[in-house]
């Protein structure tokens, strides 16, 4: 899915650009990123041609694709893919989301995925004054057999709808059923690489990447947040460096300099502290 594709592209870029520049002992040949997809193609919700484009863009980034295969086991040594052990010290699982266990303790009707079944007004079945939205809700559109996917646009529209519905209830106005408007789907593959599928634009590459960035910035809350994120992304794009950096070791010749030490909290104390330099 989009999460696995975006993560694979980001890790590959990070390992072949930033880490190689920052750590002399790391070489591009040391970085191996393997993306395992049980289905026949990546990004199955997208059109087949966009899936092919995304796969090509991933290969350009050095990502190894294992299509039509599945992970059968994960050990301390790596991941077992159809009986073959792929050695790895880092395994990222991105096969989907699952509702939190709270839903199972509410005593409401659930579907096979553990989601709360809701009616046409996003209300829990049998409890019209209790709403459930987002990943935990199993909202099935009229004429469909499967619930809406656990995506941010779905949750945003449901949240706006429920707010309007509560306002209508306070005014004793009749409720209108929820209608989801599919504005399209998009996924970023890497630097200047993405795919976009919508009613207005269907493309891949640089244009899709710019559209992806524009949409994500627009949906941020607050003008200040938008400006800060835009500045951070622009800096990272042109310099290949992150705005936030951590000092993880002292420079040579600075062994005598004082350094902070994390203190383990004693039983009954308020928590960890940091010693002050002497």
Write out the catalytic residue numbers: 6
* C-alpha span between 182 and 188 (Å, rounded): 19
In a 13 Å sphere around the CA of 144, the CA atoms on its Cβ side amount to 12
Tokens of 147: 């619930």
Closest CA to 33 of 78, 97, 75, 68: 78
What is the helix (H) or strand (E) element at residue 185, kind and residue range?
strand 185-190
Closest CA to 229 of 240, 243, 241, 239: 243
Closest CA to 36 of 96, 98, 97, 92: 92
Q: Which of 188-211 are b and which e, b meaning 16 or more Cβ less than 10 Å from the residue's Cβ?
A: bbbbebbbbbeeeeebbeeebbeb
* C-alpha span between 216 and 91 (Å, rounded): 27
């Amino acid at each position: 899915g989009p999460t696995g594709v975006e993560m694979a592209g980001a890790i590959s870029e990070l390992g072949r650009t930033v880490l190689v520049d920052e750590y002399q002992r790391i070489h591009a040949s040391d970085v191996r990123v393997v993306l395992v997809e049980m289905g026949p193609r990546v990004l199955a919700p997208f059109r087949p041609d966009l899936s092919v484009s995304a796969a090509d863009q991933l290969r350009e980034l050095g990502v190894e694709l294992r299509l039509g295969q599945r992970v059968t086991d994960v050990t301390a040594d790596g991941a077992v893919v159809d009986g073959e052990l792929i050695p790895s010290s880092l395994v990222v699982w991105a096969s989907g989301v699952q509702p939190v266990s709270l839903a199972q303790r509410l005593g409401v009707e659930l579907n096979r995925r553990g989601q709360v079944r809701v009616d046409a007004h996003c209300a829990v079945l049998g409890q019209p004054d209790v709403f459930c939205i987002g990943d935990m809700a199993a909202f099935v559109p009229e004429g469909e057999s499967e619930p809406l996917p656990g995506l941010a646009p779905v949750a945003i529209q449901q949240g706006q709808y429920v707010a309007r519905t509560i306002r209508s209830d306070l005014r004793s106005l009749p409720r209108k059923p929820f209608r989801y408007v599919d504005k399209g789907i998009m996924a970023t593959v890497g630097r200047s690489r993405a795919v976009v599928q919508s009613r207005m634009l269907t493309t891949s590459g640089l244009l899709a990447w710019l559209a992806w960035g524009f949409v994500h910035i627009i949906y941020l809350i607050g003008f200040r947040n938008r400006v800060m994120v835009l500045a951070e992304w622009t800096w990272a794009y042109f310099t290949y460096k992150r705005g936030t950096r951590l000092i993880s070791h002292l420079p040579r010749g600075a062994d005598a300099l004082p350094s902070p030490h994390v203190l383990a909290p004693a039983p009954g104390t308020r928590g960890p502290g940091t010693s002050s330099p002497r």
